[in-house]
Amino acid sequence: MSELVLSTKNLSKRFPVGRSGSFVNAVNGVDLSIKRGEVLGMVGESGSGKSTIGRTILRLTDPSDGEITFDGQDITTLPTKLIRPMRKDMQMVFQDPWSALNPRMKIGDLIAEPLRIHFNMSRSECNDRTEVLAERVRLSADFLNRTPSALSGGQLQRVCIARAIATNPKLIVLDEPTSSLDLSVRAGILELLQELRAETQAAFLFISHDLGTIKLISDRIAVLYLGRVVEEVPKDKLFSDPSHPYTQSLLSAHLPSDPNETLQRLTLQGEIPSPINLPTGCSFHTRCPVAINSCQSNVPEADEISPGHLVSCLRLKDGQNIIRRDLK
Amino acid sequence: MNLLSVQDLQTHFIFRDIDHQLREAKALNKVNLTLNSGQVLGIVGETGAGKSLTAQSICGLLRPPAKIVGGSVTFQGRELLTLPEDEINTIRGAEIAMVVQNPRSSLDPLTQIGAQLVRLHQTHTGGPLAGSRKKALDMMQAVGIPDPEGRFTAWPHELSGGMAQRVLIAMALINEPKLLIADEPTTGLDVTVQAQILDLLNELVARFDMGCMIITHDLGIVAHYCDQVAVMFAGEIVEQGPTREVFLTPAHPYTQQLLAATPERLQLGVKSQLGGQPPDLFNLPTGCLSQDRCTLATEKCGAPPPLIEISKGHLARCHFVKPAEKGRSKSNE
């Protein structure tokens, strides 16, 4: 088995807007790679294309452009018939567990569903495995005969995670798995995910808009803005050495729960531009405090400034990519 | 005198169920709060802890089956709970204003935003229309809406989430309220926009010398934008005090668990002990409401815990809390 579980090259996704002939440019040329046992965090504001990337690499939607390589095989144009059996190696956990589970099915059947589909297991084998899985995600076996309505959000998310790990996948995409959950259950789910990543050696793509959560669970972090990766950075460098102006402003807007931490105020003006009419050149130039004229016309290339730390900013060359901050 | 003082506020949902049995959900149990002008108070708690219900009870926005069954709410020395509806109407929207969570569904979709602002000003302050219009434009400017003249005739659907929230804040502030209640003002907004809105609120509180109550479940917002914090659990305020003090030396076991559940603390290897269900509001335990989830709980917790003043202005409702100095213990029970 190759070490690289997933890689994308120039991945793009456009959605047509009605019959107007214009497109929503959700993802614009994204290069990503995830190794076995690695957690890649993906962070960005709403509309930055996080979820679309997650869905596209699993071929839940088809890419408009680019290549997806999964486990050494190009799956970009693979027909659905051939993708389906591969799905046992790629699983997804969705944001909203209430709508991800069939309300009429019992919890035990929901967890057994992937086993029946992919492994053709007998009923008794299924039952045994389901109990093991439920115990693994710390879900009481009493729930297996209940329907989703009897469970709380955190418990339902545990069911979703049990379903995702049931087939021992090589890649799990987690699309904001904790953002619909209450503070108190969020911590429990994050702890469970950390245990599972060590245990299963699966690659995780962890999508979130919360920097605290991302930092806790990821090894590397990709920062997205308008469907482009503006910075890819090892976890320990995210807070110490953010090099793209957007990453810096995103970090400054993050509110740590420790009142002793000083905030580095760097409030961006305006809001994220429409993905229908993308800004020319660097997509961030409309809000960037250090933008110069050439940012409006040139699309920046990713530069590797240290091992594993890639930044796409034109101002890296003259060293003006760091925004001066005022300490509050 | 405190701008707002809430004493032992109790709100219950009283209704008949499908079998015509009278049922009573005790959603708010003895909420005590004080707020002064120029101060920002954060109210935190899990879903269902009664944060929004507290705000609605203060504003008199409850509809049956919700009913205030006890306590008092004093605003600038006036008791609000016994005021007749028409007098409340002159206070609500004028002296007490509210910013709610979902800005888009709070704006009238069939009225241009300028007209909505003018209408609100006319209702409470009156005066010539031109004056209201000018005030509306000033307010739009104050909350950082670019090109107020142009946006005056915009429709709500043309606004982004952040802009709609700014319009809502402008609406809340147009009559220069003394108290602003913001119920999850930034939930659903992006972090960079959230920072803009919170900075704006902080600046406006200082400029208009208002009291401000921010309801949130984001501890980061409280840590950096609130002077005071009140922690709610099962319709009760279990701890209140200056933000720094509560965050750095939390006294109540529930507050300690809540703070330990943040990603930052988990990063440090702290094990989260928060979990389990909040108590059944139809059948509350006697004594401490958090006893089923508390690691310290003993038989003693079957008796109602006293509200203990740990240091000046820092109160917690727990049997195990010790006042910082001897002889300063004070019980309100």
Please write the tens of the pLDDT for every residue from A144-195.
Answer: 998 998 888 888 999 999 999 999 999 999 998 888 777 778 888 888 898 8
Looking at chain B from residue 5 to 34, which residues have their Cβ under 8 Å from any Cβ of chain A?
none
Q: If pLDDT is split at 50, 70 and 90, which confidence band does B143 have?
A: confident
Contacts of residue A290, defined as CB under 8 A and 6 or more positions apart, other chains included, come to A245, A315, A320, A321, A322, A323
Question: What is the SS3 assignment for B312?
Answer: coil
Residues in chain A within 8 Å Cβ distance of B225: 255
Selecting from 3.40.630.10, 3.40.462.10, 3.40.50.300, 2.60.40.1260, what CATH number does the domain B4-107+159-331 have? Answer: 3.40.50.300
What is the structure's pLDDT at A224?
92
Residues in chain B within 8 Å Cβ distance of A192: none
Nearest CA in chain A to B242: A259
Q: Looking at residues B78-86, what average pLDDT do you find?
A: 86
Q: Which residues of chain A have pLDDT under 70?
A: 1-2, 263-265, 267, 324-328
Residue ranges in chain B assigned as alpha helix (H) = 51-59, 85-91, 103-106, 113-124, 129-142, 148-151, 161-173, 191-208, 219-225, 243-248, 253-260, 263-267
Q: If pLDDT is split at 50, 70 and 90, which confidence band does B331 have?
A: very low
Gyration radius of chain A's alpha carbons: 21
Closest partner CB to A253 (pick from B162, B195, B264): B195
Q: Do B247 and A252 touch (CB under 8 A)?
A: no
The two tokens of residue A232 are 């890819």
* Interface check B280 vs A, CB under 8 A: no
Residue of B266, B268, B270, B271 to mutate for A, most A C-beta atoms under 10 A = B266
Q: Looking at residues B58-84, what average pLDDT do you find?
A: 86
Closest partner CB to A255 (pick from B162, B220, B244): B220
Residue of A143, A258, A266 to mutate for B, most B C-beta atoms under 10 A = A258
**Does the structure show a pLDDT above 50 at B328?**
no
Looking at chain A from residue 152 to 181, which residues have their Cβ under 8 Å from any Cβ of chain B?
152
Residue of B147, B194, B217, B224 to mutate for A, most A C-beta atoms under 10 A = B224
Residue B166 distance to chain A (closest CA, Å) = 12
Instruction: Write the pLDDT tens digit of every residue in B253-309.
Output: 888 888 888 777 776 666 666 666 677 788 777 778 877 777 777 777 877 888 888
Q: Do B272 and A258 touch (CB under 8 A)?
A: no
Q: Looking at residues B238-245, what average pLDDT do you find?
A: 91
Report yes or no: A154 and A188 within 8 Å, Cβ to Cβ: yes
Query: Sign of dihedral through CA atoms A308, A309, A314, A320?
Result: negative
Q: Do A190 and B266 touch (CB under 8 A)?
A: yes
Q: Do A267 and B196 touch (CB under 8 A)?
A: yes
Give the residue carrying structure tokens 């109540």. B252
Closest partner CB to B199 (pick from A190, A256, A267): A267
Name the residue among A188, A196, A310 with its Cα closest to residue A242.
A310
* Interface check B165 vs A, CB under 8 A: no
Residues in chain B within 8 Å Cβ distance of A272: 190
Q: Do A259 and B248 touch (CB under 8 A)?
A: yes
Q: Looking at residues B66-90, what average pLDDT do you find?
A: 87
Residue A306 distance to chain B (closest CA, Å) = 25
**A60 residue type, one letter:** L
What is the structure's pLDDT at B215?
92
Q: Give the sheet arrangement for strand A65-70, strand by strand.
A: A23-35, A4-16, A65-70, A73-74
* Interface check A45 vs B, CB under 8 A: yes
Q: If pLDDT is split at 50, 70 and 90, which confidence band does B193 have?
A: confident
Residue A109 distance to chain B (closest CA, Å) = 25
What is the structure's pLDDT at A328?
38
Chains A, B: CB contacts under 8 A, how many? Answer: 108
Instruction: Write the pLDDT tens digit of every residue in B214-231.
Output: 998 888 889 989 999 999
Report yes or no: A91 and A165 within 8 Å, Cβ to Cβ: yes
Closest partner CB to B191 (pick from A254, A260, A265): A254
Domain range summary for chain B, segments of one domain joined by +: 4-107+159-331
What is the structure's pLDDT at B300?
77
Q: Do A184 and B46 touch (CB under 8 A)?
A: yes
C-alpha dist (Å) from residue A17 to A20, A26, A62, A275: 6, 12, 16, 11
What is the structure's pLDDT at B332?
40
Q: What is the pTM assigned to this prediction?
A: 0.79
* Interface check A326 vs B, CB under 8 A: no
Residue B158 distance to chain A (closest CA, Å) = 13
ipTM value for the complex = 0.73
Nearest CA in chain A to B246: A259
DSSP A162-191: HHHHTT--SEEEEESTTTTS-HHHHHHHHH
Residues in chain B within 8 Å Cβ distance of A183: 46, 217, 219, 258, 261-262, 274
What is the structure's pLDDT at B330?
42
Residue A70 distance to chain B (closest CA, Å) = 31
Instruction: Write the pLDDT tens digit of every residue in A234-257.
Output: 988 888 888 898 998 888 888 888
* Interface check A29 vs B, CB under 8 A: no
Q: How far is CA A105 from the centre of its chain?
A: 28
**DSSP code of A80?**
H
Name the residue among A203, A200, A114 with its Cα closest to residue A164.
A114
Residue A271 distance to chain B (closest CA, Å) = 7
* Interface check B269 vs A, CB under 8 A: no
Residue ranges in B152-190 assigned as alpha helix (H) = 161-173
What is the structure's pLDDT at B274?
63
